[in-house]
Amino acid sequence: MTEDAYTTSELLAVMSSRVLEDGQTIFAGVGIPLLAATLAQAMHAPGLTILFEGGVLGPFIVPGELPPSTNEQRCTRRANMVLSNTDVLLLLQRGYVDIGFMGGAQVDQYGNLNSSFIGDADDPKIRLPGTGGGNDIASLTKVIVAMVHEKRRLVENVDFVTSTGFWHGGTSRADDGLITGGPSQVVTDLAVMGFDADSKRMKVEALHDGVTSEEVRDKTGFDLLFADNLKITEPPKEEEIAFLRNLDPDRVYIG
């Protein structure tokens, strides 16, 4: 498909879905995370289980009836189990969740996320929703971040650490007691990035078709690492885009 045949949100959903694996349990919110997880179930991971922060394990997502929040009744349709919020977080603590989908206004070179405020803490320019369960997710499981690639979003240092990534890099996350989890991939409309095994700095692993390394550098607020065997992702397939548009016919999330 050509680039103008799909939206940025569709691209993010497709690329995020491809990093998910069969048999995983995915902590997902509404929007791109839910679209990506449902697409993965349909295309290559039929044994993938979706977990909502509101307490729903294994929901059945009906095309055209996407829930507006993880606490909405449509989330519970044909679910395997409905738990309390406390029990959901206990699943995280016990290591039963493989991947947590996260978002934020800012992410830095070590995968720390900010969803609290932009600017100075005493006089912020913008107030954001805050953590919710985000810090629990980021602290206890591997994390995938999906966002538009902009210099104002990928910053050298976030204005506030709402959800901890690899902290200051190196072993600092584990040194401060977070011995499991951490950022796994950052998926943007330009590239798919992981993290260097030693320094824990963000590293570009694959560019989307037609994107150059210079374009990624220009739209990033810090010096990125690039993998030696840099790959090019396969563009979204017609069947992937068709599935997403059937799932979200009103284009609430896919734009």
Which residue numbers are catalytic? Answer: 53
Please report which confidence band the pLDDT of residue 114 belongs to, taking 50, 70 and 90 as the band edges.
very high
Structural domain boundaries enclosing 79: 3-247
192 falls within a domain = yes
Q: b/e for 46-69, b at 16 or more Cβ within 10 A?
A: eebbbbbbbbbbebebeeeebbee
Number of domains present in the structure of the chain:
1
Residue 57, in any domain of the structure: yes
Residue 253 lies in a domain: no
Residues 47-96: tens digit of each pLDDT: 999 999 888 999 989 999 998 888 888 888 888 999 888 898 899 999 99
Considering only CA atoms, which of 194, 184, 182 is closest in space to residue 231? 194
We report the CATH number of the domain holding residue 193 as 3.40.1080.10
- Considering the domain boundaries, does residue 214 fall inside one? yes
- Does the residue 111 lie in any domain? yes
Pairing of strands 142-146, 182-187: parallel
- Model confidence, pTM: 0.94
Placement of tokens 């879905």 in the chain: 17
CA distance 14 to 241: 8
